[in-house]
Amino acid sequence: MQETKFLVTFCNNGDRSQTNFAELTVACSGEAIVNIALAGFGLGRTDIVGTTGAVVDGDRIAIALQGAAEQIAYVDRTYNVLGYKTIPNVEDIHGIALDGTDLICVSTGGNLILKENQGICSLPSEFDAFGLDVEHINDICWANDRLVASKFGASRKRGLRDGCVYDVKSGEVLFDGLNQPHSVFFYDNNIYVVDSLTGSLIEFREGSAFGPKSILKINGYARGLYITDRLILIGSSRRRTTSRKSNLATNEMLLSAEHDRRALQRPGIHVYDRLKKHSIFVDVEQMSDEVYQIIELT
């Protein structure tokens, strides 16, 4: 039996901020997923409302914090706090990654990507007629030697966004036509991203004649992604009724009948067994309404 541990971060957690993240353990036999366990953890701070990006850094884990201070928390493998690092001039940290020992942060509030406080990518911070920031860079990952990022892009008709995945250094758009993309991920020479508003997992192989394609779809707002040889994990968040940035009512797209509305509101993690082509839903409603990121710990 093979056991794999994952860290799941929770954002915009409101009055449940005492649970900042969770450890998800998935045990697989040769034939099936035999056990899934979920345990919540908190940092014991009242000034943070959630966590976003996370990355394993040797024997410690770096986790980006949401709240009054733009900080990175460093914890050990049993989630004891080792220390905090304040990132100056950064607003609303989302995705983080490592370049050797240097930390790269996405400042979503400033549409910046910074490496050890030095800007490596900057896009205009402007707002459209809907009160939404035009770019909304949110996540980064390494695709071989290329740093790639996901961003929303400007709003189009009916509340859709002109989202894409692009090369941070060159600015080249690798693929677009997405609606609120998050959680860009690289695996087996493919770039993956979840198209959050439609709940789709998109796969893209650079140089392919077929372009990006949807390979899985969940019934909810998709954010948080991790892929292994055996598993695909996709986070599902409760849909917001107001925009966090503009405080305007949001368009509840894809919601029709009342039973569909209830299903779409369930926050959790879809654990898909690639061998058996079977999915198990892990409910996190008692911990958080919103999943942000999923990373492997073992």
Domains and CATH numbers, the chain: 2-296 (2.120.10.30)
DSSP 3-state assignment of 16? Answer: helix
| Burial profile 33-55: b = 16 or more Cβ within 10 angstroms, e = fewer | beeeebebbbbebeebbbbbbbb
Torsion 297-114-235-146 (CA) sign: negative
Residue whose tokens read 């971060």: 9
The region that residue 145 occupies, defined by phi over 0 for left and psi between -120 and 50 for alpha, beta otherwise, is alpha
Largest CA distance in the chain: 54
Q: For residue 252, what pLDDT is reported? A: 35
SS (H, E, C) 252-268: CCCCCCHHHHHHHCCCE
Whether residue 223 contacts residue 290, with contact meaning beta carbons closer than 8 Å, is answered with yes
- By percentage, how much of the chain surpasses pLDDT 90? 60
DSSP 3-state assignment of 4? Answer: strand
- pLDDT by residue (tens digit) across 60-108? 999 999 986 789 999 999 999 999 998 887 788 999 999 998 999 998 8
Cβ neighbours for 30, distance < 8 A, ≥ 6 positions apart: none
SS (H, E, C) 23-63: EEEEEECCCCEEEEEEEEECCCCCCEEEEEEEEEECCEEEE
Query: Is a pLDDT exceeding 60 seen at residue 178?
Result: yes
Query: Is a pLDDT exceeding 70 seen at residue 167?
Result: yes
Whether residue 294 contacts residue 12, with contact meaning beta carbons closer than 8 Å, is answered with no
Torsion 169-189-149-97 (CA) sign: negative
Q: Which two tokens stand for residue 220?
A: 């909810």
Q: For residue 134, what pLDDT is reported? A: 67
Q: How confident is the model at residue 248 (pLDDT cuts 50, 70, 90)?
A: very low
Q: If you average pLDDT over every residue of the chain, what do you get? A: 84
Among candidate residues 54, 49, 46, 56, the one with its CA nearest the CA of residue 72: 54
Q: DSSP assignment, residue 194? A: E
Q: How confident is the model at residue 251 (pLDDT cuts 50, 70, 90)?
A: very low
Which phi and psi angles does 32 have, rounded to 5°? -160, 165
Query: Is a pLDDT exceeding 70 seen at residue 245?
Result: no
Whether residue 182 contacts residue 150, with contact meaning beta carbons closer than 8 Å, is answered with yes
Q: Cα separation of 128 and 273, whole Å?
A: 41
